Amino acid sequence: MVIGLTSCEAQEVSGIWMSYNNYIIDSNSMYNSGNEGVLIDFDNQTIGTIHSDSIVSIKIDFKQSKLFMKTDTLSVSFKIYEKDSIKIDFGQNMMHVFRPLNLNHKLDADKSQIKDFLTQNDFGKINGTIDIEFSDQFFFRDVMFEKPIKKNALINKSWDDEGYWLIKGIQKNFFLLFTLAQTTDQNIYQILSLDECKMKLLQLQEAEFGSAPITELKTCL
């Protein structure tokens, strides 16, 4: 794969960038949603996704404004905007918008402890409207289609439906992704802190809650 980087000048960027709040390029054509969460590590020159720990090595040549991956022949372009966002069209009528991650929120907890907090506590109705449960069981569609990497089920008691959730760790920073139903858009948050009573969250992409964003999951009064 060859990705061209286009800007006023060859700008070098650093750190890990994630795609979220992507947008449809042509609303009159078919598109694929739910593919946000692509991760590009400009320091270590790898690409991966929030859904998996697998990464692929890439080569970024800022002088030539290109990104290379030997396993593909696809060629797409991307642009840097004021060093705070990068747009990439991967050819599915969806523009990926990458933004740098702030990895200064390291937690003392590990992924297992975070999962225990979510699955062993009752958070009541989120924003007073939606009653959900973070299950330790696998998401039924991942089981049905025998996916090698299975997400956990999120039980939406208010809608009588099932979505999924997962935790992604990056350099001791952690991110929570969940959907409220089988086909709804993904909600993505960075976990800012965690104690026995609450998990503080920073909204990155929030599909369902609009003007009343989730800022924490709380178990204690």
SS3 141: helix
What is the Cα–Cα distance from 118 to 15, expressed in whole angstroms? 29
Who has greater pLDDT, 66 or 37? 37
The set of residues, in sequence order, having a beta carbon less than 8 Å from that of 143 and lying 6+ positions away, is: 150
Q: Which of 21-30, 128-137, 154-163, 203-212 has the weakest average pLDDT?
A: 203-212
Residue 56 corresponds to which tokens in the numbers above? 């692929």
pLDDT digits (tens, 9 = 90+) for 144-175: 999 999 999 999 999 999 999 999 999 999 99
